[in-house]
Each structure stands twice: as C-alpha cells, then as structure tokens.
Amino acid sequence: MSGEETVKPVSLSEVKNILKKIEKERKDLIYEQRIALEHAQAFSKLTMKQTKDLIKELKSIETIEESHAYKIADLLPTTEDAVKAIFAKERSNPGEGGIKKILEIVRKYHIE
C-alpha cells in the first residue's frame, strides 16, 4: 500500500445504516455522529437497497459519474432545473436527453 486513502462516496441511506449500527454497538454517538444521523434520518427517503439500485441504474447513463449518481440519489431531483443545478459547476452535463433519462429513473424510485 502506498499509504493513500481510498475515498468512496456514500449515500444518506448508507450513512444512516452505518450510524445506527455504531449507535447499537456503542449505545452512544459523539455529537457530530448524532447530528449526521439526525440529518440522514430526516432527508434519506429511500432504503439502502433502493438507493443502491437507483445508483446502479443512474451509472448506466454514459455521462453520469459515480459521484453524480450518489448526489442524485440523495437529492432525488424531480425537475429539469434541479438536475441542471447538480451539474452547474461541472464541465460536462448530461444534456437534455440525459436529464430526461435521469428524471425518468428517479421517478421509478421516488415516492412523495
């Protein structure tokens, strides 16, 4: 090993499950973990399996990188403008066809 850490994105549903497991094992979370868990519980709308399935499906779109798929899975955008906002600072974006495909996929998982 070269000593470099591997950074992998995680979804809010994964954060929720990780922190719940830590809470169960330790009985107590530190302040930052408790705040993160509260946030994940408030904003995570899908189960971990649904999130993983959604991310997998989003990654099948050619222009979607893994980090974008995770962000989309956490935010569950329902409008073209919301999808465009995710890609606002990016050099490339999925284009109109890609945006429509993203919204189509998200609609299969997102239930209000």
Q: Pick the residue with more confidence: 84 or 111?
A: 84
Cα atoms in the 13 Å half-sphere on the side-chain side of 1: 4
Mean pLDDT across the stretch 24-29? 87
CATH number for domain 48-109, candidates 3.30.530.20, 2.60.40.10, 1.10.150.80, 3.40.190.10? 1.10.150.80
CB count within 10 Å of CB 31 equals 7
Provide the H-helix boundaries in the chain.
Answer: 12-26, 31-43, 48-59, 66-75, 80-86, 95-109
Place of tokens 């929720």: 16
pTM listed for this prediction: 0.82
Place of tokens 């990188």: 65
Read off the DSSP letter of residue 89: T
pLDDT above 70 covers a percentage of the chain that reads: 96
What pLDDT is stored for residue 26 in this prediction?
A: 87
- Check pLDDT > 60 for residue 112: no
- Check pLDDT > 70 for residue 77: yes
What pLDDT is stored for residue 38 in this prediction?
A: 92
Confidence grade of residue 85 (pLDDT, cut at 50, 70, 90): very high
pLDDT above 90 covers a percentage of the chain that reads: 62
What pLDDT is stored for residue 100 in this prediction?
A: 95
Taking a C-beta distance cutoff of 8 angstroms, is the pair 68, 85 a contact? no
CB count within 10 Å of CB 34 equals 13
Mean pLDDT across the stretch 7-17? 89
Which tens digits make up the pLDDT trace of 43-57?
Answer: 888 999 999 999 999
